[in-house]
A and B are shown apart, each in its own frame.
Chain A
Amino acid sequence: MNRDNRFLSGVVTADPWDNLKRLTAARVALGRAGTSLPTSAHLEFQLAHAGARDAVHSGLDADRLADQIRDKGLRCFVGNSAAVGREEYLQRPDLGRKLDEATKKSLSDWHQEEGAPEFDLSIVIADGLSARAVRDHSLPMLANLITLAEKESWSLSPVVIIRQGRVAIGDEIGSQLAARMVVLMIGERPGLSSPDSLGVYFTFEPKPGLRDDSRNCISNIRPEGLSHALASHKLAGLLRGANERRLSGVQLKDDSELVAVDSGIADIGNFLALADIRESDASES
């Protein structure tokens, strides 16, 4: 329903270049009330922003996710970063990169009790900036990873779910569990039209204090972006490459073939240059 046409239809001016909407996902040709945003466009924006904010502020139901993971026959821990609450998490990225004392202790106690085993792969799931992305995409990505690990005969450590976590926390966990590789799935900062985007980060020989250039990242995993299958395919390529070359980060390139994502958006080049503007303009005047 168009909220602008309920009454006084002449008040809102539509833009006569409405057709250009098919060329871009940008909010073009919104029309105007006076010179301001018409009600419908205004409320659509508010709805998108609300979705993004809800994604940032809604908590991750970590216990439920842990149960779902245990149902797959995997061991699973739930813990916290050193950031207490969302407000501190958002203002103190340094705390989100570290485990809190209780989680650190429970991981290390478990590891000792098990006789300090070594693992090929550790999988960490962190809420990051979108619990929704984790809720929607982490389980199918995890299933694909388990299949890959079985195929490659990689031993898996327990899965660790972290609340209020940032990317680098995966390295501390991988190191605690003596894992050779760590894969961290995390909710990415929501865009206005992407409240549910998952990022996957990967480190070879993880340890605390590594920088961004030691990790590889696959971003924008969501239905309108990178599919689970494609993201898993790229991740498998990276993990195999890392295993072979014994490194991760900037030196490890993603060699998987680029598969075009059909966005449904037409690309016709620079249509502003299609018509010979000046000549035809002159002939008319």
Chain B
Amino acid sequence: MGGYAQLAGGERWHFQDLKCLLAAATPLRSGDVLAGVAACSDTERVAAQMALADLPLKAFLNEAVIPYESDEVSRLILDNHDASAFALVSHLTVGDFRNWLLSDECTEENLKTISAGLTPEMAAAVSKIMRLQDLVLVTQKIRVKTAFRNTMGLKGRMSTRLQPNSPTDSVSAIAASVLDGLMYGNGDAMIGINPATDSLSAIGELLEMLDSVVGNYSIPTQTCVLTHITSTIELINRGKPVDLVFQSIAGTEAANRSFGVSLSLLEEGREAAMGLKRGTVGNNVMYFETGQGSALSAGAHHGLDQQTCEARAYAVARHYDPFLVNTVVGFIGPEYLYNGKQIIRAGLEDHFCGKLLGVPMGCDICYTNHAEADQDDMDNLLTLLGTSGVNFIMGIPGADDIMLNYQSTSFHDALYVRKVLGLRPAPEFERWLNDMGIMKMDGGALTTSQSLPAPFSRAVLAATSEAGQ
């Protein structure tokens, strides 16, 4: 008993435990207000940040924010903590840790070394006292490399998940979006469909369709149909061509239960996909999606703020050596992240915490129509994440997902950020774009071809005559 006290603004502030301190120190967002855990004033928030800055990193090893006994995510975090990796920073307070991260002493190599010694709560804590430029500066030092049929996370590269969703799972509508995206140099992270249905046979057909496209045109990429992990395991058992195993995950056992998953089920899915050995340059087989607010939305946040919950989801993710992890930052709606400002900060925090913990982070830079956000906000987050070295973003025709009814980043958006920051697609995919004549390397930059490469031209012709009949 005792908690944490801080003098600030001529007042003495008290925070009853670590959980309350973390929540009060979190930059304002609607979800924490909704949960009743946010600071009551701006001064209280900064007082909490000051108290947090004085806290030794070691404190997070002594006080679990959700009890070890009652939460398997807490057990995963503490049981897998690597004390020798932690040694380099174990003497630091949260405030010192921020200084060290920003210093030139802290190298890419250092960050790689300490990753397994950091808990998600440490990452969340330091992010709460960082400005956006701090988050960008530190994150761009970190590379998290993974591979399946191509390589993600290399320096100077940024990939996209081509998301060709259709509200009726129409195969020709999906194919049209796939072609559109490929011609704009998108799809190296994966071609991944959110199906409208949860019917196993329909999902199996979509898997076969995507597999045939990747096979027919020899595209060095991977595919995914995003359905519950139990369905994916069943589809693997039925012999369907599964590259990546998708699952939504969260940072508490109870929130994961609300998604119908446990740590052992995730392991089961991973083993099933590993056994298929479909990767050619690597075998990272998991694709996770996360997002601040999901634990609160499931009533499973245990009084923890939504950003700390989210960082804990990355501790879950890293345990399974995922190919990619996607924070779907603005999808959840304004009751969790109210406006562009809150969405932008959350996207950068998530990318930072994930990368610091060794997770191959990407971001679905997105918003819904009832959030106070627009395309300009997405441009800001896109440019900031590109600068931070994000592994991948979404590529959706015209930024408009007509199935999920939200706005994300378009194929054009990806080309914009690649152009202004000199970023390139995954190397294997870049070679394919070049060989196909879709884009050519010209003076260090990819230039888009004016005409449609022959095989795709034939497909469009076939589609035109078919549709005309």
Contacts and interface: CB of A to CB of B under 8 A. Distances in A.
Nearest to A95: B34
Interface stretch (A173-181, A228-236, A238-246, A263-271): A263-271
A7 interface: no
A36 B170 CA distance: 28
Contacts of A28: 176-177, 179-180, 397-398
Given A22-B467, A274-B462, A277-B459, A45 B173 contact: no
B369 A275 contact: no
Contacts of B334: 90-91
Interface in A13-50: 13, 15-17, 19-30, 32, 34-37, 41, 45-46, 48-49
Contacts of A37: 398, 410, 412
B370 interface: yes
A272 B369 contact: no
B133 interface: no
Contacts of B448: 13, 32, 35
B338 interface: yes
A273 B177 contact: no
Contact of A268 (B164, B375, B463): B463
Contacts of A93: 34, 335
B201 interface: no
Contacts of A190: 369-370, 405
Contacts of A36: 412, 415-416
Contact of B172 (A45, A92, A266): A266
Interface stretch (B19-27, B62-70, B211-219, B243-251): B211-219
Given A29-B180, A192-B407, A277-B458, A23 B335 contact: no
A270 B334 CA distance: 37
A23 B463 contact: yes
Contacts of B374: 49
A56 interface: yes
Contact of B369 (A29, A53, A268): A53
B206 to A, nearest CB: 10
B171 interface: yes
A22 B465 CA distance: 12
Interface residues of B, number: 64
B156 to A, nearest CB: 18
B166 to A, nearest CB: 7
A191 interface: yes
A41 B402 CA distance: 16
A52 B375 CA distance: 14
Contacts of B451: 16
A80 interface: no
Contact of A52 (B173, B209, B369, B397): B369
Contacts of B167: 25
B219 to A, nearest CB: 11
Interface string B394-434: 00011110100111001010011001000000000000000
Contacts, number: 199
Given A13-B450, A91-B34, A277-B458, A271 B463 contact: yes
A278 interface: yes
B467 to A, nearest CB: 5
A16 B463 CA distance: 13
Contacts of B463: 19-20, 23, 268, 271, 274
A191 B166 contact: no
Contacts of B343: none
B338 A30 contact: no
Contacts of B371: 90
A35 B179 contact: no
A81 B457 CA distance: 56
A22 to B, nearest CB: 6
A270 B183 contact: no
A193 interface: yes
B433 to A, nearest CB: 13
Contacts of B5: none
Contacts of B412: 30, 32, 35-37
Contacts of A269: 171-172
Interface of B: 30, 33-34, 164-167, 170-173, 175-180, 183-184, 209, 212-213, 216-218, 334-335, 338, 368-371, 374-375, 397-400, 402, 405-407, 410, 412, 415-416, 419, 448, 450-452, 454-464, 466-467
The 3 closest A-B pairs by CB, nearest first: A27-B398, A191-B405, A271-B463
13 contacts: A16-B451, A17-B183, A19-B467, A24-B170, A26-B398, A91-B34, A191-B369, A191-B402, A191-B406, A192-B407, A265-B170, A267-B170, A272-B459
